[in-house]
Structure 1
Amino acid sequence: MENTLNIKCKSAVRANLKAELLWTEKPLSFWGTVNPKNGEIRDNKHPLYKENMSGKVLAFPTPKGSSGTGLIILEQIRNNCAPAAIINLRSDPVVLTGPIIANRFYNYQIPIVNISEDDYKKLEHAKFVEFFEDRDEIVAYF
């Protein structure tokens, strides 16, 4: 039997989705860190080095870096290697622009939610996370 944990969140982009979780305790920059052609993390100093975010829920506490992040996410969408969803403690415009533009102009949803620091730590060993279009809650599956 699977263990689950319901977590309250603030949703920036909503969709119904359940996908495998890729979690890190370190901030992430998409510009120069993520290969937009295949979704692989190519920064050899990052704990997720060589992991692939394509089709997974990507959880990283905060973004860092470039205003080009939104463009990298849009390019990942074009190349079918974008994360399925994003979980942050605090999303900022550099992360939000790509998914918001994709939602508005391409009807392509990458759910983005923010959760508390305590709840974020609880996700570390989750295997899957489920998102909902109709409520500010996610469910983690262990």
Structure 2
Amino acid sequence: MSEAQAKPRVITLKGRKVVGGKATAEALVSTQTISGWGGINEREGSVIELHHQLNGVSFAGKVLVFPGAKGSSGWSAYWHMCRLNGTAPAAMIFTRMTTKIALGAVVSRVPTVTDLDGDVFELIETGDLVEVDADAGVVTITKR
């Protein structure tokens, strides 16, 4: 079988549901926390933090993989505005649970998981196809 015909590598991780639901989309990965107030453009669904590795990149409709939130309690309000504007991520996967990010996940109403049994920053790359079944706490990664 040629390399072009080879089946894509699939990885399955188990974690904990934060907000239920299911979504499948392209991954957008950042090893940096994201600020809500002043760090994202809620009208476009993009990161606008000046020195952030995703500055200028849209997270709208993607599975956003990141450590978590930073900044003030305004964080959740900006993610809520993303939902209202139709620019929220399709799903979120994060590694550091805080009340700030939990509330942000709830108000954005997107499938969200945390506490996965593998290192998401080593296993998921931007562009991978990621299915988040938050109800089951399962993340399926199809490598691209």
Task: Indicate whether the TM-score tops 0.5.
Answer: yes
State the distance in 2 between where 1:49 and 1:101 align: 23
Aligned to 1:34: 40
User: Unaligned stretches of 5+ in structure 2?
Assistant: 1-6
- 1:89–1:120 contact (8 Å) kept in structure 2: no
Determine if the alignment matches structure 1 residue 77 to structure 2 residue 78.
no
Gaps of 5+ in 1: 103-108
Q: Compute the displacement of 1:116 (Å).
A: 4.7
Structure 1 counterpart of 2:94:
88
Secondary structure at 1:50 match in 2:
coil
Deviation, 1:16, is 1.5
Measured at CA, do residues 118 and 133 of structure 1 come closer, stay the same or move farther in structure 2, by a change above 3 Å? closer
- How far did residue 93 of structure 1 move? 1.6
Query: In the comparison of the two structures, how many residue pairs are matched?
Result: 136
Paired-residue identity, %: 28
3-state SS of paired residue (2:50): coil
2:18 to 1, 12, 17: 12
Return the offset for 1:7: 0.5
SS in 1 for 2:35: coil
Compare 25-34 and 111-120 and name the one that shifted more.
111-120
The residue number in structure 2 matching 1:50 is 56
TM (norm. structure 2) is: 0.85
Aligned counterparts of 1:73 and 1:141: Cα–Cα separation in 2: 27
**Deviation of residue 111 (structure 1)?**
1.1
SS of structure 1 residue aligned to 2:46? coil
Query: Under a length normalisation based on structure 1, what TM-score does the superposition of the two structures give?
Result: 0.86
Report what 1:105 is aligned to. none
Task: Answer whether contact 2:63 2:130 (CA < 8 A) is retained.
Answer: yes
What is the rounded CA distance, in whole Å, between the counterparts of 1:41 and 1:126 in structure 2? 17
- Secondary structure of 2:113's match? strand
Which structure shows the bigger proportion of residues in strand conformation? 2
Match of 1:132 in 2: 133
Distance change (3 Å), C-alpha of 1:31 and 1:15: same
Partners of 2:17 and 2:26 lie apart in 1 by 19
Following superposition, which runs of at least 4 residues in structure 1 exceed 3 angstroms of deviation? none
Deviation at 1:91, TM superposition (A): 2.5
User: By how many angstroms is 1:8 displaced?
Assistant: 1.0
Report the alpha carbon displacement of residue 31 of structure 1 after superposing the two structures with TM: 1.4
